[in-house]
Amino acid sequence: MKSQYVLPFERPIYELEEQLAKLEAQPNPTSNTLDAIRNMRTEIQRMKREIFDNLDAWQTVQVARHQERPQTCDYIDLMCDEFVELHGDRAFGDDRALITGFARLDDRKVLLVGQQKGRTLKERSECYYGCAHPEGYRKALLKMEMAAKYGVPIVCLIDTPGAYPGIGAEERGQAYTIAVNLREMMLLPTPIVCVVIGEGGSGGALGIGMGDSVSMLQFAYYSVISPEGCAGILWKSSKFADQAAKALKFTGKDLLKFGVVDEVIPEPLGGAHRAPRVMASTLKSTIVRNLRSLASLPERELLDRRYQKFRQIGVFEELGASEVAPA
């Protein structure tokens, strides 16, 4: 069945799949028809690989924002054997843009924290399209501190264009609350595994992103600002978002090279939205593997490694005049 949401560069794939479906629906297919079906299946796989292996930065953003891309609640349903949601920040309210709760991944108990955008208009309105308010970050930190108290590791799924920028959020201390989360997450004496599953926008992502292991899915992005926001500043128009996306160097390939993320998790051919169950299985195995590798570390070493990990991001060396190669 054709997806309701087809990105421009995906259209040739869906057109071939429609032709394949018509061939497969024919009663009593001839040998020529069966050959055509086999060839078309091979061509579809080749086309998917060619297109998705060569996405530019702006196309990667489009995949990260795909309407059918799995979100936190989808991964909870597909990965977790159990999940008990925890609500509220004990101060203002319960922010639906941030989901928190105790979960079980195979034989491992974890605290799961994830940003949720919503599917329907009603859900998106409740979730503010994944843009959390200060109460969301307070809720997340409260639950993380409780997990650390009982020695339960933390898993954070990041998927937000950024923290909510409204007046009410600013009045309630948006920037301060995120800053507190950054400081306190660095000090939590329990393993923290973070994965960018879609959009990783600015401080909204960092508010739950200080982990011992920071990974991202193949077609996610992780950036200090959205491409539209960057284009608005540099070119005074969001029409240049594609150029901004290229300049920001925020894809998995770039961030792995810069040392911002530790791992890029491969997505199914055609993206996570084409095979959510396969993606959930891969994500779960990656999270469990990272938790296993962190579990044996003494508390002091765990905290020291986490601190050094983030201190080293952005470090560079200046060459002296004698070391610079002539043009």
Which of 6-10, 112-116, 174-178, 305-309 is predicted least confidently? 6-10
Say if residue 74 is in the same domain as residue 26.
no
In a domain, 169, yes or no: yes
Confidence check: pLDDT of 319 > 80 = no
How high does pLDDT run on average in the chain? 92
Mean local confidence (pLDDT), 256-263: 93
Mean local confidence (pLDDT), 10-21: 91
Q: Are 149 and 190 in contact (CB under 8 A)?
A: no
Confidence check: pLDDT of 49 > 80 = yes
Say if residue 117 is in the same domain as residue 213.
yes
pLDDT tier at 33 (50, 70, 90 boundaries)? confident
Mean local confidence (pLDDT), 260-283: 95
Say if residue 151 is in the same domain as residue 179.
yes
pTM exceeding the 0.75 threshold for the entire prediction: yes
pLDDT digits (tens, 9 = 90+) for 58-107: 999 999 999 999 999 999 999 999 999 999 989 898 989 999 999 999 98
DSSP string, 270-316: T-GGG-HHHHHHHHHHHHHHHHHHHHTS-HHHHHHHHHHHHHTTT--
Say if residue 223 is in the same domain as residue 77.
yes
CA distance 136 to 132: 5
In a domain, 221, yes or no: yes
pLDDT digits (tens, 9 = 90+) for 192-248: 999 999 999 889 999 999 999 999 999 999 999 999 999 999 999 989 999 999 999
The whole domain housing 167 covers 61-311
pLDDT at 305: 95
H-assigned helices in the chain = 11-24, 31-52, 57-64, 72-79, 121-127, 134-149, 167-171, 174-187, 202-206, 227-234, 241-248, 252-258, 276-295, 299-311
pLDDT at 1: 46
Q: Are 177 and 197 in contact (CB under 8 A)?
A: no
**CATH code for the domain of 221:** 3.90.226.10
CA neighbor of 87 nearest in space, from 140, 154, 158, 152: 140
